[in-house]
Amino acid sequence: MNVEIAPGQSLEAKGTEECAMFGNGFWLEQKLNGEVMGQPLRNHSFLGYDPLQKQYRAVGVDAMNPHMTLQGGTFDPETKTMEMKFSGFDAMTNRMVEGKAIERWVDDDTRKTEVWVPAPNGGDLVKFVELTYTRVK
């Protein structure tokens, strides 16, 4: 995992994710466990398709704050890319923010995720985190 802390400056982190179908196959349950700068990183989320809203929906919580992150978006089967807009709490600024997450399946064993958040000065979205997931066989 690569955490961008400033343009051209990033931190490396490692972790594992376990995924399993939940609720009669309606939801993908994801559990992420890792470490960033010596601090534990724990995230638990559910992802599924909402037939009423005709979009993918996700909810996630982590061990760093008491706020849920809510997401909604689309999946493009041609590019194997999911783009989700989200609303969540930013512990760095102590406020709710809106951003986006882009997840791309590179192959059957690799997926990459980018998380984009508002720039510190309130400008355009900037890439905050880039994660590469590799399936362990």
Strand order in the sheet with 110-118: 9-12, 2-6, 125-134, 110-118, 95-107, 81-90, 69-76, 55-62, 39-50, 27-36, 14-22
Q: Of residues 100 and 88, which shows the higher confidence score?
A: 100
pLDDT at 8 over 80: no
Q: Which residue has the tokens 């355009």?
A: 124
Percent of the chain clearing pLDDT 70 (strictly above): 95
- Can you give the pTM of this predicted structure? 0.85
Give the least confident one: 39-43, 67-71, 83-87, 97-101: 39-43
Q: Structural domain boundaries of the chain?
A: 13-134
Please state which CATH number belongs to domain 13-134. Answer: 2.40.128
